[in-house]
Structure 1
Amino acid sequence: MVHYRPTNASKRVLDKNSLYLIDSGGQYVDGTTDVTRTVAIGKPTAEMKRHYSLVLKAHIGIATARFPKGTRGQDLDPFARRPLWEAGIDFDHGTGHGVGSYLSVHEGPQRLSRLGSEVLEPGMILSNEPGYYREGQYGIRLENLILVTPLTKIEGGEREMMGFETLTLVPFDRRLIDPKLFDPSELAWLNAYHARVRREVEPLILSDDRPWLRHATQKIG
């Protein structure tokens, strides 16, 4: 299920050797957050690791995208789906939605989806949240918030390009990552992201929690 709400009929115990998907966030003085992580409970299977890694590749495809003025959300949506399509799978929701401040966490008009016809402009905030859901077994979604960056010249290029700055700083579960499924540029992005998480978050947390953060952000591959 893409969005799970526990009821007396649907509630379940978190089983050993399963996946736990948590979609969370909050309202703060300087903005709204929306972050999703999937973590392993016990020992994940090879299939779980493969599907998680494909979703992470999809996430990185959006995080590293460069695009010219006039690009719409629907133009970028396939950047996330390609790794999944190549494996014969997909997800049945948009790749990302706009995020408001003191408004709705789902705040348009911008979005990354097949229906995203709004042109992306510098300063817009969206989510980057591809996923995969195996009915009756487990779900995977990995969500960060991203900011559209200003137009800049690329050396040797002819047009100015925008991109995304990742705002969310939460580690990905290393136990679910299969390095063999990533190309060098994807691993470089992932390791640079984890290094940034460690650098920016470690000074803000209790000293007793810092060993966990260091372990969670160790270099991969």
Structure 2
Amino acid sequence: KLTEICAAKQAEACRAASGKLLDLSFDTISGTGPNGAIVHYRVTEKTNRPIKPGDLYLIDSGGQYQQGTTDVTRTVLVEGGKAPVGAIDAFTRVLRGHIALATAAFPPGTNGMQLDTLARAPLWEVGLDFDHGTGHGVGSYLSVHEGPQRISKGGTVALQEGMIVSNEPGYYKANAFGIRIENLQYVTAAKKAKGVRAMMGFEALTLAPIDRRLIDKSQLSTSDIKWFDAYHKRVQKTLLPMVDSAARDWLKANCKPL
């Protein structure tokens, strides 16, 4: 049977198969159902749960390569069952926060504290929040948590071109499920697209499908959907040549426009 430990080992095996993995960048967080609601969960033989139909399964993992350090989180609905009550609404709000940060335009000198609210606002609308930072700095073949930049309530360092930060809003319902969507992104150079002042922004580094089965499309704005579809078009275009035929079919199905 498929368990949290099995899934974590499979993720590591996939990375190792590239021949370029030097180490994991941190212990994989592999949590299903109520274990997914534990933000920094580390599975053990004692806590290991089977991954069952209808569970929300959260996996946060990364690798160390000479080319850089990775960190990605996805939350998926396990096939064969219905999503838990409240999960689709919460997931969509987390996604909205993720998109708001990913598409932010901001002037030079802006710090992470000023941007943190963007990722939380959709949850705040209904009295929800998450008790961790929205984003942390990431090294290049160094520490997966590396400053001085961070996107959080205490992030006072101004973001600069080329800095890498994570974008990882979440929601955790105790004893039920956890949700987190995490991409790494880098700060882009200031440029004048509109108006008179140059604005900086973000460009995603992480390319992995986001589970559309957990999205309430009616919550999304036109610009949210535009970002989601453009992101998945890029995911498919980049990854399709790298995967086998079975994975291609899955990738195409999960990168279709909303």
TM range (shorter): over 0.9
For 2:249, the equivalent position in structure 1 comes to 211
**TM-score (norm: length of structure 2):** 0.82
Quick check: 1:14 aligned with 2:13? no
CA distance in 2, matches of 1:14, 1:209: 21
**What is the aligned residue count?**
219
1:50-69 alignment, distance < 5 Å = 50-69=89-108
Structure 2 stretches lacking a partner, 5+ long: 1-37
Quick check: 1:188 aligned with 2:226? yes
Q: Which residue identity does 2:162 align to in structure 1?
A: G
CA deviation after TM superposition for structure 1 residue 5, in Å: 1.0
- Equivalent position to 1:158, from 172, 196, 200: 196
CA distance in 1, matches of 2:50, 2:175: 14
Runs in 1 of length 4+ with deviation above 4 angstroms? Answer: none
Q: Which residue identity does 1:164 align to in structure 2?
A: F
CA distance in 2, matches of 1:153, 1:162: 9
* Higher RCO structure (Cα 8 Å, ≥6 apart): 1
- Equivalent position to 1:171, from 209, 213, 232: 209
Q: 1:119 aligns to what SS in structure 2?
A: coil
Q: Which residue identity does 1:122 align to in structure 2?
A: E
For 1:94, the equivalent position in structure 2 comes to 133
CA distance in 1, matches of 2:244, 2:66: 23
**TM-score (norm: length of structure 1):** 0.96
Tell me the alpha carbon deviations over residues 141-176 of structure 1, each in whole angstroms, 9 at most, x when there is no partner.
Answer: 000000000010123x12110000011100001111
Structure 1 stretches lacking a partner, 5+ long: none
User: Is the CA contact 2:67–2:141 (under 8 Å) kept in the aligned structure 1?
Assistant: no
For 2:67, the equivalent position in structure 1 comes to 30
CA distance in 2, matches of 1:201, 1:7: 32
For 1:149, the equivalent position in structure 2 comes to 188
CA deviation after TM superposition for structure 1 residue 208, in Å: 2.6
- Root-mean-square deviation (CA, aligned residues, Å) is 1.1
CA deviation after TM superposition for structure 1 residue 9, in Å: 4.4
